[in-house]
Amino acid sequence: MTFQLPTPAALEVRPVPQRIAFMAAPTEGARHEYDRLAERYGNVPPGEAEVIVCLGGDGFMLETLRVVLEMELDTPVYGMNCGSVGFLMNPMAEDALPEKLATTQAAELYPLRMRAQTKSGEVFHALALNDVFLFRQTRQAAKLRVEVNGMVRMPELICDGALVSTPAGSTAYNLSAHGPIVPLSGNLLPLTPICPFRPRRWRGALLPSTAYVRFSILEDEKRPVAAVADSLEIRDVVTVEVQEDRTRHVTVLFDPGQTLSERITAEQFSA
């Protein structure tokens, strides 16, 4: 019996974009590339662009994607790495940029929605494309109660903190905290403790993407906790609720053969 491997699907070819918006991180290298590319290809506001080109690192890419979400744009974002790691970015290449953009491959990312309430009663809402995490504010360990879909799954977790990650963010802080890497198509959300003390050997859980997670901070006066949604930090929280928001998404573009799914898979085989 012989087996025939499937051939790769043909690359989607989109129209060559004529209107590109460039956005650059506030670094010398990114600003230099911004000036060169804007002069060569022109520059339009994000709301008028067919493609947004983000110049910077992963942090600035997340800021750019958050702007796209807040403006409720359907415009895809293509990152060019002017930073360090650049997991969400493509290599810097100035020549034939519009033609290159027409052959990129797209990945749709769904954000987490965080609702955090503080000791004073203030309520904050935020979106996160990487993760939502809780972390102790003082030398005292945090004490958290963890509920999933209204059921108390862990009455008391003593730890430095805990996080819920998107699949795209599972290779970031989640991986550093020894959480699992999740493929984009997995429809799963990692729930990962950060330096757990009790239960000492608990390594977290993989939840369905429809899960609703609620953290309650125990002994909040003695053990204050902050909540962070990507780059937004809220101090002195008492409850934090996290759920994937399937009503919103952003589209990120990658060079052929370098899709986010491929990068996530490759990361699982790296040393």
Tell me the catalytic residues. Answer: 58
β partners of residue 241: 115, 214
Helix (H) or strand (E) holding 106, with range, is: strand 105-109
Find out whether 172 is annotated in a ligand binding site: yes
Find out whether 168 is annotated in a ligand binding site: yes
Find out whether 174 is annotated in a ligand binding site: yes
Longest pairwise C-alpha distance within the chain: 70
Find out whether 230 is annotated in a ligand binding site: no
Pairing of strands 237-244, 112-118: antiparallel
Burial 213-245 (b: 16+ CB within 10 A, else e): bbbbbbebeebbbbbbbbebebebbbbbbbbbe
Find out whether 58 is annotated in a ligand binding site: yes
d(CA 129, CA 12): 25
β partners of residue 80: 55, 90
> Quick one: DSSP state of residue 8?
P
How many other C-beta atoms are found inside a 10 Å radius of the C-beta of residue 19?
15
Find out whether 171 is annotated in a ligand binding site: yes
List helix spans (H) across the chain: 28-41, 58-70, 97-102, 173-176, 260-267
How many other C-beta atoms are found inside a 10 Å radius of the C-beta of residue 109?
21
Find out whether 160 is annotated in a ligand binding site: yes
Find out whether 162 is annotated in a ligand binding site: no
Binding site for NAD(+), by residue number, is: 58-59, 130-131, 160, 168, 171-176
Please state the residue numbers annotated as binding site.
58-59, 130-131, 160, 168, 171-176
